[in-house]
Structure 1
Amino acid sequence: MATSIEKLADGVRFRLPATFAGAARDLADRESQCCSFLDIEFTDLSETTEMTITSPNPDGVPVVHLLAGLTGR
């Protein structure tokens, strides 16, 4: 469960409770096998983890925004 979602020009950034970091990393590993147009990075903070999903392919950015529920914002 994300505590915040930030729309980026080339993707999205989720802030997650640190307890969800392992599950998020596992999901990111599986997604990277099928969705090579995504770049997924993690930043561990004190009590939270940021997961940033971007796409170097401009055609992939609307997909990232749609999956994050950020279309029309």
Structure 2
Amino acid sequence: MSRASGFTYEQRGDGTVVITHRGRAAGTLRGARADKFLAEVEAGDGQTVMARWTGAYKFGNERLARNHPRNRR
């Protein structure tokens, strides 16, 4: 699996966590979900964790889709 890149997060004073991807908001977490996210980011690879939490990650079938007859040019 390729590494996701371009993700950053900001923890705000009210406990809200805002995840951005290449400068655009990709997700907002509050309460217990924000706490769980912060624990995962500290424990693992931050880029992969943020990609998984926002749903903005590749599924591994891009090469197959590119080679499908419908998508060839």
TM range (shorter): 0.3 to 0.5
Taking structure 2 as the reference length, the TM-score comes to 0.32
Structure that is richer in helix per residue: 2
Structure with larger Rg: 2
Structure that is richer in strand per residue: 1
Of structures 1 and 2, the one scoring higher in RCO (CA 8 A, sep 6+) is: 1
Taking structure 1 as the reference length, the TM-score comes to 0.32
